[in-house]
Amino acid sequence: MDLTNEIIVCQNQVLDVSNLSVIRSGTQVIHDINLSVSCGEFIGIVGPNGGGKSTLLLTILGILKPNTGTIRIFDHEPMSKNVIGKIGWVPQTASNLSSNVQITVRELIQLGTLKSKSYFQIYRKKNRELVEKIIGIVGLEEVANTRLSTLSGGQRQRAAIGKALASEAEIIVMDEPMVGVDRDSRNSLLKLLDNLCHEENKTILMVSHDLSTIKQTVHRMVYLEETIRYDGSTSEFPDLSSLAKLRGITSTHNEYSSVKSKSDKDKKLDPITIVSGKGGV
Ligand SMILES: Nc1ncnc2c1ncn2[C@@H]1O[C@H](COP(=O)(O)OP(=O)(O)OP(=O)(O)O)[C@@H](O)[C@H]1O
Ligand SMILES: [Mg+2]
């Protein structure tokens, strides 16, 4: 994204997760995760409660450490100085912000510009222009001077996305960002995220339980339950009964037959794993 009018070369691969496993409190919660993400992709991560979605995001962010495997962000380790600011976290709590927080939309977005190298530049003209441009991108011009606590869940989520953009994040990581956001705001928020991918070349990883909404929006779906059981286009995403089989849930009425999707057969994969390659837009 060229918010600062600098030329940023969009690298093809922005994230590479290889053979990742993570142990939490002595238990392996995710294993054999392989995920390669390119610039401009909008990826929806779905799966059952406890399937490891948040664990994966926290490990990508560098908060949790891999037990085995590697994570490379722009070919650097998470949390390394080359990565700081390039990956932005939009927390779910953005929509549940306490009413005690007395901060305006513009101030929150301005805080996003506070990265180490620009700490003393916060009031410089370039930063002010950047903040105004972002307020426009997230569509909050009319409430720029309004306190966040008085805004709707969707508007707060937009402001939180704006803060991530202000740090010039190339990858935006979101864990359940639609919780507490009404349906209309959810749709426009998803449209905003889609635009960020198409027009600004941002890469988005979004965890959501809202399968039907996410399926209509993202470019690529990842189904995670301890390991990745589906990675591919939204159009080929398994239906509910196939998903149940992916999870090892068998019908009480029919005899169990192992799951074989078209791509599964072609690729001779583990019968409960469907990985149809990188999903196209
Ligand atoms: N702080 C923790 N310490 C130990 N184990 C944890 C911790 N947090 C989560 N876990 C365990 O790790 C596994 C994966 O949890 P995680 O929160 O990543 O799943 P999730 O897919 O994000 O679930 P949800 O959809 O409910 O948010 C679960 O078995 C969970 O109990
Ligand atoms: Mg979670």
Mean of pLDDT values over 248-269: 48
Asked if residue 63 has its Cβ within 6 Å of ligand 1, the reply is: no
Asked if residue 29 has its Cβ within 6 Å of ligand 1, the reply is: yes
Asked if residue 52 has its Cβ within 6 Å of ligand 1, the reply is: yes
Tell how far the Cα of 214 is from the centroid of ligand 1, in angstroms: 21
| Cα–Cα dist 201/3, whole Å | 11
Asked if residue 25 has its Cβ within 6 Å of ligand 1, the reply is: yes
| Cα–Cα dist 181/169, whole Å | 23
| DSSP H stretches of helix in 94-140 | 105-111, 125-137
Share of the chain above pLDDT 90, in %: 40
- Sequence-separated (6 or more) residues with CB below 8 Å from residue 146: 104, 105
Tell how far the Cα of 173 is from the centroid of ligand 1, in angstroms: 17
What are the structural domains, with CATH classification, of the chain?
13-234 (3.40.50.300)
Asked if residue 64 has its Cβ within 6 Å of ligand 1, the reply is: no
Tell how far the Cα of 50 is from the centroid of ligand 1, in angstroms: 5
List the single range of 14-23, 97-106, 171-180 with lowest mean pLDDT. 97-106
Per-residue pLDDT of 129-177, as tens digits, reads 889 988 998 899 999 999 998 888 888 888 988 888 888 889 999 998 8
Tell how far the Cα of 126 is from the centroid of ligand 1, in angstroms: 41
Strands 27-38 and 13-24: antiparallel
Higher pLDDT among residues 3 and 206, named by residue: 206
Asked if residue 47 has its Cβ within 6 Å of ligand 1, the reply is: yes
Asked if residue 18 has its Cβ within 6 Å of ligand 1, the reply is: no
Atom of ligand 1 lying closest to residue 209 CA: 25
Residues surrounding ion ligand 2 at CB below 5 Å: 53-54
Sheet holding 42-46, edge to edge: 87-90, 171-175, 203-207, 42-46, 220-225, 227-232, 274-275
